[in-house]
Amino acid sequence: MALFTDKTVLVTGSAAGIGRATALGFAAQGANVVVSDIDQPGGEETVAMIHKADGTAMFQRADVSNVDDVAALVASAVDQYGGLDCAVNNAGIEGTIAPFTDQTEANYDAIMRVNTKGAFLCMQAEIRHMLAAGGGAIVNVSSVAGLIGFPGLSPYVASKHAIAGLTRNAALEYAKAAIRVNAVCPGGIDTRMLDSLAEQATSGAQTSQQMMDPLHPIGRIGTAVEVANLIIWLCSGQASFMVGAIIPVDGGFVAQ
């Protein structure tokens, strides 16, 4: 039997990359999937891919940094499918690579608004519903940059460390209410975000794989599906004792 039959799952930032792979994976396990992103064409494409595979999904555009958008997003999930069992807060941006003293206030604010405030607002709305419903599971997508530093990416690093902190606090506050909150910390993953960082870091001289493969002990970057598999497991009943965990999925990167 599929792991998420008759369950409803919300995935933010699911127009591409890890979010899309996660949405597709949940749908394959029987979930009703609420796909959300600011990229409407990409989000609708994710929904079309789920429908093509005989899955169930809907799209709702939402800016996770806007409290009204977030409230409407969670309300739509509940109205359409009758509840919200799991949520994956994945929406995020990387911003600009620059030395600490050259980082602009605008870049800092944009990253913190989407990555940290977005996760905070989504968790608030999701937890409020899960409290009324009697429980649920939330997975936040942090990063290895939420565990260690990366020169040139100070606002991004700060935002992802903050997500780890929010995850731990929410997990402690709501564990007894049967709401499990955990986070995953991807390393180099074959996504558009990693391509953007490689372009900035090498001025196009190297691809993301050329730049990042040698940095991972496993000898390669990861795939979005490899991250999605962990997220899906954390939301399942198989991970019933996982609470407040911040888990690297990084080919050994932070073990070095």
- Active site members: 156
Work out the angle at residue 27's Cα, subtended by the Cα atoms of residues 25 and 33, and round it to the nearest 5 degrees.
115
Closest CA to 145 of 110, 189, 178: 189
Instruction: Output the CA–CA distances (angstroms, integers) from residue 40 to 36, 105, 117, 168, in the order listed.
Output: 8, 28, 21, 31
- For 163-224, give the DSSP string: HHHHHHHHHHHHGGGTEEEEEEEE-SBSSHHHHHHHHHHHTTSS-HHHHHGGGSTTSS-B-H
Q: What is the largest CA-CA distance in the chain?
A: 54
Name residue 34's beta-bridge partners. 10, 58
